[in-house]
Amino acid sequence: MLGLTRKGGVLAATAAMLCVSVPANAAMGCWDQTQVAAAKIRDLQSRLMVATLRCSAMGAEISPAYNRFIAANRKTIQSANTVIMAAFRAGHGPRAGEVQYDRFATSLANIYGDDATDPDICADTEATAEEAAEAAGDIRALVALAERTGGSPTLPGGQCPVSFAEMGGN
């Protein structure tokens, strides 16, 4: 009887642990400067993509500018996505990391889905896409543009603190 009680207790404890919800960022460490830059580039791409779709839906065709941005920065965008995926895999493991990456990427796009859309916003988006195309893969230029025109995406685990020692200072 004692063996059954112990087994029952272990099963009950295991079942209880399975029912506990663990936040998605529980396993994520902080994001270093490279990962933050990658997330900002991904956020810029998501923002431009969603705005382009919204503008197209209202009849303002700015997709040629967006397509130039993608063509000129394809390798950099792919590299940014690789960096972000690696961060999620390191924090959650290979399978769960892919799921968390997909959630992150989807959440970036969803943030911009309900933004206002009017001719001025479409013109601004087109100008931003053209400027981003001119970056031609330059990470610093894309990050600066992302910071100037948007902001920083919410990162699970937050951004790592920067120390002067890491930057070559004391």
Dump pLDDT digits (tens) for 38-88. 999 999 999 999 999 999 999 999 999 999 999 999 999 999 999 999 999
Domain assignment of residue 85, yes or no? yes
Domain assignment of residue 20, yes or no? no
Domain assignment of residue 104, yes or no? yes
Domain assignment of residue 49, yes or no? yes
Query: How would you classify residue 78: left for phi > 0, otherwise alpha for psi between -120 and 50, otherwise beta?
Result: alpha
Q: How far apart are CA 147 and CA 35, in angstroms?
A: 15
pLDDT in tens, the chain (170 residues): 434 333 344 333 333 333 333 344 456 789 999 999 999 999 999 999 999 999 999 999 999 999 999 999 999 999 999 999 999 999 999 999 999 999 999 999 998 988 889 999 999 999 999 999 999 999 999 999 999 998 789 999 999 998 777 666 55
Q: How far apart are CA 107 and CA 111, in angstroms?
A: 6
User: In sequence order, what are the residues at sequence separation of 6 or more whose Cβ sits closer than 8 angstroms to the Cβ of residue 19?
Assistant: none
Residue 32 and residue 160 in contact, taking contact as beta carbons nearer than 8 Å: yes
pLDDT the model gives residue 150: 86
149: number of Cβ within 10 Å: 16
85: containing domain: 31-149
Domain assignment of residue 7, yes or no? no
Domain assignment of residue 139, yes or no? yes
Running DSSP on this structure, what letter comes out for residue 99?
Answer: H
pLDDT the model gives residue 164: 74
User: In sequence order, what are the residues at sequence separation of 6 or more whose Cβ sits closer than 8 angstroms to the Cβ of residue 66?
Assistant: 48, 49, 52, 129
pLDDT the model gives residue 51: 96
Domain assignment of residue 143, yes or no? yes
Domain assignment of residue 165, yes or no? no
First-to-final CA distance of the chain: 66
pLDDT the model gives residue 166: 61
